[in-house]
Structure 1
Amino acid sequence: MRHIQLPKLPSFAEWNSKFRTKGALLAPRGTLANVNLAEKALKQLNIQRPQDVTAIELYPGLGAWTAGMANAGFKHIFTLENNPKYAKWMGDRAKESNGVIELLKKDGYDWETYLELKKPEYLGKFADNDWSRVHPNLLFTGTLPKSSKGEQLLAQFATCINNRMAMHSIGRIQMAFWMPEQLYQKFTAPPGSTARCKMSIIMEACADVESIYVAEPDDMFPHTPYHLVNAIPFEQKKITAQWDVFEYVLKHLFVMQRQPLSKMIKTLAPGAEILLGRLSFDPSVEVGYMSVEQLDEVAVKFDQWPLRPKVLFEFDF
């Protein structure tokens, strides 16, 4: 089996100096800093036939996770890095990989990136609309930033699974992302948790989510615990309401999670309390404790109501 040998990774102090953007006050974007840990985590991920799998990796940083995948025998790795200093580092690693690692100087945050990835020279040939199985040849992975950008990106991925957009327009693709502790808590928050939010609700509705490995602070730059979270999209999503209606209901109800639905339903529209008698569950439940199925039922009943607002969202152009 081939072995990608990374050069000696910089110390924390060297990394903080070498990869910091000139004039920046904050430390460089977070990155996995231990190849041995990456290889252990990959074993827990239990990828079947890695020699047939192409990975799409966001924000590789120092490339420890990239090297781990290459050493596990992955067929090909498209690694997306638009930070100039990290991109220079990863470009050198790509040259040493005998074609296994391919650097794309793109940002996984930009919608255009996913349109580009669907071209035949990248992922176009892998398109598979059969959602009865998990795509056998693709893995969507990476290390999410600790900033608000990381949370926004993950929330977009959740929506994309539900609506089969971006990466998930190609097929039912397994995701495995390293994410900081705070983002992990939001991503997996169950009913009743104070961290419960739109993102955790949508993920509960469309994927089986599990933390399979935890990196200790010393294994990450900067030093902070990160979870490797595996997400397998369901064949059938739990949300049956129209997407814009479901979004509208979430936006209004979750303004005050600790209030009962019987009170908050009035925020949907004047007279919306008439829907309470049409629900199959007790409307005294606090909004934050509602299951996906209950939220979906509210959205469906709201959509069926003849007096609901016809325009749910107003946009400024």
Structure 2
Amino acid sequence: MASVHLTRAIRASTSCLRHELRRVTLSYNNASVSSRSTYATVAATGETKPKKRAYKKKTDSAAPSVKLSPEDIAASYKESTNNFTELPPDEEWKTAFPTVREHAQRVAVRSPEVAKQLAESIAPEGSKDLIIIEASPGPGLLSRALLNLPKERVKKLILLDSSPIFLPYLKPLESLDSRVSVFPYDAFNWATYKKIKDEKALDEVETCDDWSQVHPQLRFTMTMSANVHGEQMASQLIRAVSDRQWLFQYGRVPLNLILQARMYDRLKAEPETSNRCKVSVMAQCNATLTELVPYDDLQPYHEKFHPARVGHASTARHTELDARRVSSPLVAIQCIPKEKPVIAPGDLDFWDYCVRKLFVQKATPLSKSITALGPGANNLLKTLEAIESPNYVDTSKASRALDLQDWSRVVNTFKEWPFRPTDLSIDNLFMRRKHD
């Protein structure tokens, strides 16, 4: 009976069906997580409960609107997904994981082949006893691919996701595999990582103060949202390297990020290119960036990722406007912290201030834009233009043409300037994602 109702609903209003699906998903989630107090707390406090929205019901002369009961929908999906232990068939993802407002910018791996390829790259042959944090895993296709690797490669898998739509497909993994720990926390909130540490999820992670080697255990993987929060998060994660903040307190932890190709183009942009910006400079100072898997293997978007929006998908690089859409091309990258970051510990504020100020006039020669650093900053030119100075820079270059060595010399000169501004702060240096 449930399947009959579901068929009728598909023919009816799509917006109405999505409304009902959201209701039942929240209902099912509250019931499925009641065995664990942290899940119960999330459900009780309503931290992840979406706001109610008004939907207009549309009529269809061929098929009148049908209102399904939560029991009908739950029964239908219970049959097709085996109590949410297994993911729905590919053709059901659009219905099982609706793109409601709260998840409009969420992206998840949908292709089993891509998930397997990513898993092999994150924990390649020869890996042993890795502790992997997967942030924003969505329904968990990549998570399952990691668990399907030879067991000696992955010792522990920590999943962070606060979505009531995806949690019912993540929580069963805990009972299926003792290596899995699921936490219903927002991966875009910096406090989340302190929480999992306080809950002893990272007790088995070694602290490696010797940065001559990449951390032997810990790996971080995250699928970035297709909006400004995703871009900010990627940038801020890499910024944390220089002062050994966040997970870098444990050592040189590799970051595996799935993000929009547009963002990667900015991160890796070379001097004198149009994409060169503050993000490029800060990222390249702290980490070495490479593609985790070939770009072409992740295309076309609508065949590899969810949500699939065929009308916007393409294997080609998009225009600036297209690149901001959820369905624009994605790339998987690996960020390896540098053994000796260009930004020295304690100097992040100086770098952030100088790079931010000078990129306001990124096409202007440094000899003219230097005044942006503060009143009297033109006096810094005496040092920067002195050929015998260790901080010599060709000041005829524009900000976007400066390489990392040039930037290091500019920042050092500014740092030694006795009349530099005292307030170098930036609002929301580590930003917390704001919920609607």
Instruction: After the TM superposition, list the runs of 4 or more consecutive aligned residues in structure 1 that deviate by more than 4 angstroms.
Output: none
**Equivalent residue for 1:221?**
306
Give the distance between the partners of 1:139 and 1:313, measured in 2 at CA. Answer: 31
Structure with the larger strand share: 1
Q: Could you tell me whether the CA contact under 8 Å between 1:212 and 1:228 is conserved in 2? A: yes
Q: For 1:160 and 1:243, how far apart are their aligned partners in 2? A: 9
**Count of matched residue positions in the alignment of Structure 1 and Structure 2:** 309
What RMSD over aligned residues (CA atoms) do the two structures have, in Å? Answer: 2.4
Contact 1:16 / 1:27 at 8 angstroms: preserved in 2?
Answer: no
- For 1:258, the aligned partner's letter is A
Indicate yes or no: 2:356 matched with 1:277: no
Judge conservation of contact 1:139–1:175 (CA < 8 Å) in 2.
yes
Rounded Cα–Cα distance in structure 2 between residues aligned with 1:141 and 1:300: 34
Q: 1:287 to 1:312 in 2, by over 3 A?
A: same
User: Hey, what does 1:20 align to over in structure 2?
Assistant: 98
Contact 1:275–1:302 (CA under 8 A) maintained in structure 2: yes
Q: 1:202 & 1:48 partners in 2: Cα distance?
A: 32
What TM-score, normalized by structure 1, do the two folds share? Answer: 0.89
State the alpha-carbon separation in 1 of the partners of residues 85 and 184 from structure 2.
20
Change (3 A) 1:25 1:68: closer
Does residue 1:289 correspond to 2:401, yes or no?
Answer: yes
Q: How does 1:75-94 map to 2 (within 5 A)?
A: 75-94=155-174
Q: What letter matches 2:397 in structure 1?
A: V
The one-letter amino acid paired with 2:419 is L
Pairs within 5 Å for 1:1-317 = 7-11=86-90, 14-20=92-98, 24=101, 27=104, 29-45=106-122, 47=124, 49-73=126-150, 74-96=154-176, 98-119=177-198, 121-126=200-205, 127-213=207-293, 214=295, 215-216=298-299, 217=301, 218-223=303-308, 224=327, 225-240=329-344, 242-279=347-384, 280-313=392-425
Deviation of 1:304 (Å): 0.8
State the identity as a percent: 26
TM-score (norm 2): 0.66
Say if 1:245 and 1:105 are closer, same or farther in 2 by CA, change over 3 A: same
Cα deviation for residue 271 of structure 1 reads: 1.9
Q: Aligned partners of 1:205 and 1:25: how far apart in 2?
A: 35
Distance 1:150 1:15 in 2: 23
**Equivalent-residue separation in structure 2 for 1:262 and 1:152 (angstroms):** 30
After TM superposition, give the deviation of residue 57 of structure 1 in Å: 0.5
Give how far 1:187 is off.
2.2
- State how far apart, in whole Å, the 2-side matches of 1:209 and 1:197 are: 16
Closer, same or farther: CA 221–115 of 1 in aligned 2, 3 Å: same
Residue 26 of structure 1, CA deviation: 6.7
Describe the superposition over 1:231-250 as per-residue Cα deviations: whole angstroms up to 9, x where unpaired. 11111111247221111101
Tell me the distance in 2 between the aligned counterparts of 1:114 and 1:211. Answer: 26
CA–CA separation in structure 1 for the residues paired with 2:165 and 2:156: 23
Q: Deviations over 1:238-283 (max 9, x none)?
A: 1247221111101110112111111110111122122123121210
- Which ranges of structure 1 fall in alignment gaps of 5 or more residues? none
- CA-CA distance at 1:125 after TM superposition: 3.5
Q: Distance in 2 between matches of 1:16 and 1:122?
A: 33
Deviations 1:23-74 (A, max 9, x none): x387461100012222123334563543410100011012121112111231
> What is the CA-CA distance between 1:117 and the residue it aligns to?
2.9
Bigger radius of gyration: 2
- Alignment partners' CA distance in 1, 2:261 and 2:105: 18
Letter matched to residue 104 of structure 1? F
**Distance in 2 of aligned mates of 1:291 and 1:258:** 14
